[in-house]
Chain A
Amino acid sequence: MEDKKKKYDMNRPEARALMDEIVHGTFMKEGTMVAFPTCFPGASIPIAPDESRITALDATPEGVVYGGTSGHRAHVFVGMFHGVTGVVFDLKTIEGATQSAAVCCGQKRFVACVNGPKGGGRILACALQPLPFDLVQEWGFERPAFEDWGEAVAGEPIVHAVADHANDLAVGVTPRHLFVADLAASKVEVAGEVPGAGRLALASRGGIVGQDGAGHLWRFDPKKRTLQRRAFALPAGQWDRTPLTWSRVKHQGLLYTADGAGRLFSFDEDKGFSASLGQTMLAPVGPMAVTLDGRVFGFCGPDLAKMFGYDPASGRVTNLGVAVSVIERRRYGYVFGDAVPGRDGELYFGEDDNLGHLFIYFPKIRPLT
């Protein structure tokens, strides 16, 4: 039998402080989140609400963000936020596609990997967008031409794909195959058989890794085009319940991942997996990204995710609360589909929800000690 609870006395001296903590301590306890709509605010309208669930992101070294949406129809967009820009431009509505599985940036063009209710996952390619003139003064936008490279693997949906270290290739998986898309040659080839599940990652020595059953990672060498099954053993944990997610330290290639219980691990091709680094307050762990000083930020928990931060210097995992933007757009963020680091340490989170926005997170600058 439950204990009878005593009614809270609202005249208690700490009541006001506790109320403030309950209400305000719930949201963005550190850093600043800015929700940017999928449009040029004031000059165009956003992607239709039920076509704008952002599920795929990538960025060029210059910090231009490319993304793909899911929903009634899939779209591909570009986001520019540096210099005299400040826009998300809807590059294309992809007829017959309802899910963006991945977007991969190459040196001169990018590919979008999309799925639909019929057939296998398709790859579409397009030139990288030039910078516009001046989005304060005057501008002109045209929808670019896309090449449709067709199905990556006949009849199989694309699960995920990533660009290789040289940004020449996109390496992806379907539920049964590994494929390679050559961005310069406009060619897609099957490179092996793997049980494609979860997300892939570019590892520290240039290998592409993905989950290989409940206990291992496979490794693909893009240069040699060789596939090594069961190349790395996963550490002890829950690896069979949720799709694998990754974030990458840009300049080192160190990867972070989490198991189904929210335990964080790092992975390096030379050193393998670390011991558990900490545990997020909720599970599963969704998209996460690493800022320039090595701190990891991501979301965890179903339905109404909360942001966590992991600081490798202190080894602490912190609850940063529910995402909310009060700049540009006033909006809560509940579900996120992908994340990518930006040029200057800002992080982009794609909102996997109706009327999805790009949530741009500016981590707290650490004070001098």
Chain B
Amino acid sequence: MPWPMDRREFLKISAGLVPAAVGLAQAAEAGNSAGKYQAPTTPSLYKSTWYEFTKHPDSDTCWSLSVGPDGRIYAAACAETVPGGTVKVVRYNEARDELDYLFDLGDKVDDPGDSGRATQCKIHYSFAPSMHDGVLYMATHLSGPPIDQPAYSPWLSWHDEKRCFRGSALLAFDTKTDEVKWWDTLIPKEGCRCLLHDEDRGLLYALSYPRDHFIIYDLKKRTRRDIGRIGSVNSQALFLDRKHRVWTTSDYGHLVRYTPESDRLEMSPFTLPHNPEFQTGFHSVFYDAAPAPDGESVFAGTWIANPYLMRIWPNDGEWPRVEDLGPSTQKRDPTIPKDTFADHCGGLTFAGDGQLYYVASRWRDPVDNPMDASHKEREGVVWRLNPKTYEREEVARLEHPKNFAQYVSRGAVDHNGDLFFAHVGSHPSGIFKVSMPPERKRPNAHLPIRMWG
């Protein structure tokens, strides 16, 4: 059966505007009252458990999931399709094996959901830890409609004082005391697409949306500098090299580098790996980027259907050496511009065993992938990639009780060495825990910690 072709399908599915995921059996009875669900027949050493944001029923996406400076897992229960929706920050409670709801972000920054403006509806790849003081920085993003509107366009409402998003709110959350120490407006009128912390220099780096400006925030002075625009398609990730340079991508799949000494944004002339059959480099922006434990390289994936994986060595050469690790998802009919919700790869994270884990989508295709009945129409496959040999091994499938699980935005490993993945595509939304086999765990597996969302 053909899937409906429309914009941002995940929003429709997650918001319940159309019947939820085609062809799924209703398996809600397998869950419990705390919104936890473990698949009874996970064919894997890696056990997948679903934790629904039951205490935030308006939540429709989870874009941010990170390990905090305390080694615990934090996630954003976002509500972006609900008029007046706001994001709540949750944390996985390992003692009770459930989620703790920490706070409603709109309340903390005096920007409630019924303000009439676009709301503080989500945190989008914008958790960034601070190791010396145990703070977890977080910055909000936009698109949630005002309470009395069905949708929001930041372009339409840019000059509308009553409707325009107030701005990305930056919060400093103390993970030792569970208090918000302070907050500020990181980017007026705009959302923060992704956030990075250069702890040595006390700087936060962000990309704004919709104008795609590169923003630097000085934590000591609490001041903001706008370095200028990059393009139109937001990159979804920033990363840092050991020279304190910050890297991201342009609309057409070129590396973009900010060098503090020159205070300039520069663009590489080279195009990042992409499908040579039906892509040009357009939209091959970073979706996710995970630092390798060696500290010298970064593994990244792109935000376009048939996303490519690559390894980037930012400290090598005038422009980095980039190794093309090929596509992360399956072959398909190139005459159809596939959507990035169904054809997707995210959740890149290194675990205690020194291997890269990520989740790539897989779907039934009558020609290219006629999967048998034991598979769902769409699946989120957990892969384990050896960074030395680049060998890949399928280790688990994420099991959602009611919806497909092919879209994972971010992944992280907690201090116990277990994997966690943020899911987009259900309402309420939630996260997956994937328990690692004991021999592949280690204490403080989250270190060295990733400093960007």
A residues lining the B interface (CB < 8 Å): 2, 4-8, 10, 12, 15, 18-19, 22-23, 25-27, 45, 48-50, 72, 282, 301, 303-304, 306, 322, 330-332, 334, 353-355
Residues of A contacting B264 in the complex (Cβ-Cβ under 8 angstroms): 50, 72
B241 within 8 A of A: no
8 closest cross-chain pairs (CB), A and B: A19-B151, A8-B83, A26-B156, A354-B229, A354-B228, A304-B158, A22-B151, A5-B148
B residues lining the A interface (CB < 8 Å): 7, 15, 17, 83-84, 114, 116, 145-153, 155-156, 158-159, 189, 210-211, 228-233, 250-251, 264-267, 269, 282
Residues of B contacting A49 in the complex (Cβ-Cβ under 8 angstroms): 228, 230, 265-267
Question: Are B229's CB and A7's CB within 8 A?
Answer: no
Residues of A contacting B114 in the complex (Cβ-Cβ under 8 angstroms): 4-5, 7
Known: A25-B156, A45-B269, A304-B211. A330 touches B149 (CB 8 A): no
Residues of B contacting A25 in the complex (Cβ-Cβ under 8 angstroms): 156
Contact of A303 among B156, B158, B231 (CB under 8 A): B158
Q: How far is the CA of A2 from the CA of B158 in the complex (A)?
A: 21
Residues of A contacting B15 in the complex (Cβ-Cβ under 8 angstroms): 10
Question: Are B150's CB and A15's CB within 8 A?
Answer: yes
Chain B's closest residue to A325 (CB) is B232
Question: Are B152's CB and A354's CB within 8 A?
Answer: no
Q: Provide the main secondary structure of the chain B interface.
A: loop
Q: How far is the CA of A27 from the CA of B66 in the complex (A)?
A: 36
Residues of A contacting B158 in the complex (Cβ-Cβ under 8 angstroms): 301, 303-304
CB < 8 Å A-B pair total: 95
Q: How far is the CA of A23 from the CA of B154 in the complex (A)?
A: 9
Residues of B contacting A50 in the complex (Cβ-Cβ under 8 angstroms): 228, 264-266
Question: Are A330's CB and B282's CB within 8 A?
Answer: yes
Residues of B contacting A334 in the complex (Cβ-Cβ under 8 angstroms): 211, 229
Scoring B116, B153, B189 by chain A CB atoms within 10 A of each residue's CB, the highest score goes to B153
Residues of B contacting A26 in the complex (Cβ-Cβ under 8 angstroms): 153, 155-156
Contact of B17 among A5, A10, A45 (CB under 8 A): A10
Contact of B116 among A2, A72, A282 (CB under 8 A): A2
Known: A26-B153, A353-B229, A354-B230. A301 touches B148 (CB 8 A): no
Residues of A contacting B149 in the complex (Cβ-Cβ under 8 angstroms): 8, 18, 22
Contact of B229 among A8, A72, A355 (CB under 8 A): A355
Question: Are A355's CB and B156's CB within 8 A?
Answer: no
Residues of A contacting B211 in the complex (Cβ-Cβ under 8 angstroms): 303-304, 334
Chain A's closest residue to B146 (CB) is A5
Given A2-B116, A355-B250, output 15 extra A-B contacts at Cβ < 8 Å: A4-B114, A5-B116, A5-B148, A7-B83, A7-B114, A8-B145, A18-B149, A22-B149, A23-B7, A50-B228, A301-B159, A303-B211, A331-B231, A354-B229, A354-B230
Residues of A contacting B228 in the complex (Cβ-Cβ under 8 angstroms): 49-50, 353-354
Residues of B contacting A7 in the complex (Cβ-Cβ under 8 angstroms): 83-84, 114, 147-148
Known: A2-B116, A22-B153, A49-B265. A331 touches B251 (CB 8 A): yes
Question: Are A23's CB and B251's CB within 8 A?
Answer: no
Residues of B contacting A6 in the complex (Cβ-Cβ under 8 angstroms): 147-148
Residues of B contacting A23 in the complex (Cβ-Cβ under 8 angstroms): 7, 151, 153
Scoring B150, B251, B282 by chain A CB atoms within 10 A of each residue's CB, the highest score goes to B150
Question: Are A22's CB and B147's CB within 8 A?
Answer: no
Residues of B contacting A331 in the complex (Cβ-Cβ under 8 angstroms): 231-232, 251
Contact of B159 among A10, A282, A354 (CB under 8 A): A282
Taking the closest CB of chain B, its distance from the CB of A328, in whole angstroms, is: 11
Chain A's closest residue to B156 (CB) is A26
Taking the closest CB of chain B, its distance from the CB of A195, in whole angstroms, is: 31
Q: How far is the CA of A56 from the CA of B155 in the complex (A)?
A: 26
